Amino acid sequence: MRRALFLLWLACAAVAHGQELPDPKRFENDILRFEEQDREQMPPTGAIVLTGSSSIARWGNQAPAALAPLTVIPRGFGGSTMRDLAHYLDRVAIAYQPRAILIYEGDNDTGGESPVPNEAIVADLQQIIARIHEKLPQTRIYILSIKPSILRWPRWSVAQEVNAAYRRIAAEDPLLYYVDVAPYLLNKDGTVMTDIFVEDGLHLNDLGNAIWGAAIKAALMPMEARADLGKTP
């Protein structure tokens, strides 16, 4: 009951600050396309779902090769926020009965035209975690840090606050793993690399995706390789 009241308070606070919460149903066609793909060929159960915003969606075609021998199901939908993922969680993740779910959200929450309050991002993530634990009690969850980018560099300090919250949440749960991709995308002086993005300054180019993919694979392999190599963790 208190959680419901807290989430209602966050929504009211956002409206009070002049922020309109976008309707998650704007992604319905994207989700329907996933379901059409599933009707043609259903992915295997016990795989690793990759879900989240455009950094996952744009990387989707490269992800299976980048993360091999891990079996992955790319289910990113570009432009999404943590709240959007909460809305579609059953259809883009839980439906596949995965052994692990990797989440990348928060980039659009912190860096979009109408930034979402940090507390609301965290509350939405906690709701997602609770639902996964309820429906898939053995499934591991990997939470990717918000990445730095040229376009959203002015909001990087805010993103770092949210990343710190992600890290704290993961530290309290044995099924959660925080994956910090940020250090791999920064120069030694702490500035963001400029040669790893496409022209928009937000999305990663092939070099950026190679770095991103290597960091993600390194985080997944210690636990997830056992299953794909025939040894159930």
Give the 3-state secondary structure of residue 186: strand
pLDDT in 10s for each residue of the chain, 233 residues:
444 444 454 444 444 344 567 899 999 999 999 999 999 999 999 999 999 999 999 999 999 999 999 999 999 999 999 999 999 999 999 999 999 999 999 999 999 888 999 999 999 999 999 999 999 999 999 999 999 999 999 999 999 999 999 999 999 999 999 999 999 999 999 999 999 999 999 999 999 999 999 999 999 999 999 888 775 44
Give the sheet arrangement for strand 72-76, strand by strand: 72-76, 48-52, 100-104, 140-144, 176-179
Reported residue count of the chain is 233
In terms of Cα–Cα distance, which of 132, 174, 162, 144 is closest to 63? Answer: 144
Instruction: Please give the Cα distance from 228 to 70 (Å, whole number).
Output: 6
pLDDT at 5: 45
Give the 3-state secondary structure of residue 156: helix
pLDDT at 170: 97
Q: CA-CA distances (angstroms) from residue 98 to 34, 51, 72, 91?
A: 16, 12, 9, 12
pLDDT at 6: 44
Report residue 100: phi and psi, to 5°.
Answer: -150, 150
pLDDT at 19: 54
Segments making up each domain of the chain, as ranges: 24-228
CATH T-level assignment (fold) for domain 24-228: Rossmann fold (3.40.50)
Question: Which residues does residue 72 pair with via DSSP β-bridges, in sequence order?
Answer: 48
Looking at 107-175, which runs of residues are DSSP E strands?
A: 140-144
Q: What is the pTM of this model?
A: 0.90
pLDDT at 2: 47
Residue 111 per-residue DSSP state = H
Looking at 24-67, which runs of residues are DSSP E strands?
A: 48-52
Dihedral of the alpha carbons of 204, 209, 211, 212, in degrees to the nearest 10: 90
Instruction: Please give the Cα distance from 59 to 76 (Å, whole number).
Output: 9
